Amino acid sequence: MSSSDWQEIIGTIGVFALITVVIAVGIWQLAATWRAKAQLAREKEYRTIADRAVLVQEGMERQLAEINGQLTEMRGRLESLERVLSEVE
């Protein structure tokens, strides 16, 4: 084999190695992009769930305040009824 044959073999191996590295890096970057997009989608879903939970909690707070008001009113009526009954006895 002559020196030009060895140069062609080394050049071919080098080109093959370069192409392999470029393809591997491209696939790696594509996978990283997919992972980043999936993570953003999950974060958006978590934010949506958190927002809905806050709305539900606010609704429950309003309902509890309303029930508390009704309970206070009923307590007042019960005390009034107890006074009337004690006066009747």
pTM comes to 0.57
What pLDDT, on a 0 to 100 scale, did the predictor assign at position 50? 97
Give the three-state DSSP class for 66.
Answer: helix
What is the arithmetic mean of pLDDT over 71-80?
Answer: 96
* Confidence grade of residue 34 (pLDDT, cut at 50, 70, 90): very high
Three-state SS for 89?
A: coil
The pLDDT value given to residue 3: 73
Q: Is a pLDDT exceeding 90 seen at residue 2?
A: no
Residue 1's pLDDT is 66
